[in-house]
Amino acid sequence: MVKVFQSNLNVSIEDRKATPEQRLWKAVLAQMLYDALSSFNNKLTNSDDKKAAEFWLTHKTKDLVDVCTHAGFDADYVISKSKKLINLKNLKRLGIVWNHERKTKYESNMSRVQR
């Protein structure tokens, strides 16, 4: 609970420095990520919309570059992170990845030492 509060606090402090226009474009990116990654289907979003959002986030189009620039992000970074997230979602859907947790360098080195 404390970590969630701290992360929300950090985001709100960072957002205070952003202009209203930057917050708007960040919201556009967040909505596209939600559309591409969520498994929730309703009358407003269907599988075609999800595929369009995935395509939009993983290909360097002029629209994506413009949105990222206006939001204050690097388009190449957004594309690389989006590709990783979408690939992980697809692997989880197929049942290949069931418990993906990021380990720190220390934890991954300790597992080698203990063998």
DSSP for 63-105 reads HHHHHHHHHT--HHHHHHHHHHHHHHHHHHHHTS-S---PPPH
Domain-embedded: residue 12: no
**Tokens representing 6?**
């701290």
Task: Give one DSSP letter per residue of 42-56, joined into a string.
Answer: -SS--HHHHHHHHHH
Q: Which residue has the higher pLDDT, 80 or 1?
A: 80
- Residue 46's pLDDT is 76
d(CA 50, CA 39): 9
pLDDT for 8: 46
Is 15 inside a domain boundary? no
Q: Inform me whether the pLDDT recorded for 3 exceeds 50.
A: no
Residue 39: inside a domain:
yes
| Residue 42 maps to a domain | yes
Establish if 92 belongs to a structural domain. Answer: yes
Give tens-digit pLDDT for 43-91.
667 788 888 999 999 999 999 999 999 999 999 999 999 999 999 888 8
Residue among 71, 64, 57 nearest 14 (CA): 71
pLDDT at 102 over 70: no
Contacts of 74 (CB under 8 A, 6+ apart): 68
Q: Domain range spanning residue 94?
A: 20-114
* Total of domains in the chain: 1
